[in-house]
Structure 1
């Protein structure tokens, strides 16, 4: 596509009398006649606003021959003797007539822009959004850091408790149901000292057809559609690149490039349709043996002598034991606080005595992270 070129004239500000927006073609201030010198401010030109979407300068381009000639003269140079700025194609200083030397500084022109398209403009408010997210994350981190810091506190054991439970289970004959293809007659074996038993399968009977499950069966085809999105060309849009020429002028090159938009479309395909069908099989009743709980006894206390309750055990019985221990601790940390410790074994439980001093590590949020015997 055809490229369109414009020359944009910049403006500069006089540092002697503060006159602003002086056209680049004027090398002397129109108010105080001060020549534009080699300073950080007077050698920096302003070219106006730029459209964020296209990159096109909002300032009108110059068309007169004098300005176009000045823009093509090359980068300005500054006189070594008086500091005045001069056209890039002139060998003598316009102010003091000194010759341009190899040490005369020149403004640096920007390199030609590449043909790569400019990056898309940043969305408005995106930087503010990420700043807000960063502040929130920082606040969360600071709260977590403060809350996780711990300090040492001294407390004492105010109570100890224990509970022991014994379950008596008996290996008894029971009736169950199962699928015929999974049943095979086997003789049971009774346990010895509560172990080594075999349930067995005996007296398979009363087999009837029952639904065992379902299966998927092909039942024709169906058309299935889903909405998708794709990018399509929807016209053209203007994109511009700019190059500062180092003499108060800027060259702008614009061209029309393809514009793409999101388009929704229906993606359809034909696929096999399925229906569910019940699957039937033979379900039978059979005799077997299983452990069944027949008795349970519990004993508890707050002393330091945990005891198991007694239960009589028959020939085909076994005992299952459960134990639970609790140590209650009280300490001072911004008021009276309580903490419960659950020892995993009798030996660990017996190491804690009522009235004993303990050392705790407590976080600023009040969470106890460690409990130890006080030295």
Structure 2
């Protein structure tokens, strides 16, 4: 059986191409946090003794009746074998072989019962300064000429992570006489080679990411 998550091959017509690029803008922001240890660059506010985890502690034993199985002899069967006497003759020997069967029985066993006991530790509450995303510069377009935005930084700000996404909008025949349109993300290397109105075969995964199907 084929997985429903397997990529789907679709014969499509390219309707539109668009893109977007973003650059995060960061600045130092003071955060209130807590942890079981104090970071070197943190400013301690206060500490508290809090439950950090739980441990199993033996509380008592209780008697539990368990059903078990064991092998017991049911009967004996006669089994014959032949011993080579070395003179061209064989001697028959017979022995009784036990045949076993399984029987169930009950047995009382003592089992430990545990309780959860809290383990306390010192928790630190503190202030700490971190580079934090406070804004995002964005550029986009319905063409194939992507460009990066030019962030306007204030004093104390810097640029952070960059992202780029390229999309194709395409129409395909879903059922005979019926079409459906979808928008899919693609790698730049393939996206830049596409043309509006072009008919092409795309391989589209469950997350909506497409690539040109290489035959």
- TM-score bracket, normalised by the shorter chain, equals 0.5 to 0.7
1:296 aligns with 2:122: no
The answer to whether the 8 Å contact 1:171/1:317 transfers is no
Deviation at 1:340, TM superposition (A): 5.1
Q: What secondary structure is seen at the aligned counterpart in 1 of 2:27?
A: strand
Q: Which of 1 and 2 has greater Rg?
A: 1
1:235 to 1:183, Cα distance in 2 relative to 1, 3 A: same
1:206 to 1:157, Cα distance in 2 relative to 1, 3 A: same
Deviation at 1:356, TM superposition (A): 2.3
Equivalent residue in structure 2 for 1:320, among 139, 161, 168? 161
Which residue number corresponds to residue 186 of structure 2?
343
CA distance in 1, matches of 2:160, 2:203: 40
Q: Deviations over 1:76-130 (max 9, x none)?
A: xxxxxxxxxxxxxxxxxxxxxxxxxxxxxxxxxxxxxxxxxxxxxxxxxxxxxxx
Equivalent residue in structure 1 for 2:14, among 123, 137, 157? 157
1:329 aligns with 2:170: yes
CA distance in 2, matches of 1:259, 1:328: 75
Deviation at 1:210, TM superposition (A): 1.8
Deviation at 1:259, TM superposition (A): 6.7
CA distance in 2, matches of 1:313, 1:226: 73
CA distance in 1, matches of 2:122, 2:171: 64
1:354 aligns with 2:211: no
TM-score by length of structure 2 reads 0.64
Equivalent residue in structure 1 for 2:35, among 158, 174, 178? 178
Q: Which structure features the higher share of strand residues?
A: 2
1:262 to 1:331, Cα distance in 2 relative to 1, 3 A: same
In structure 2, runs of 5+ residues without a counterpart are 78-96, 205-209
In structure 1, runs of 5+ residues without a counterpart are 1-139, 187-199, 238-256, 363-367
Equivalent residue in structure 2 for 1:218, among 41, 58, 73? 58
TM-score by length of structure 1 reads 0.40
1:322 to 1:268, Cα distance in 2 relative to 1, 3 A: farther
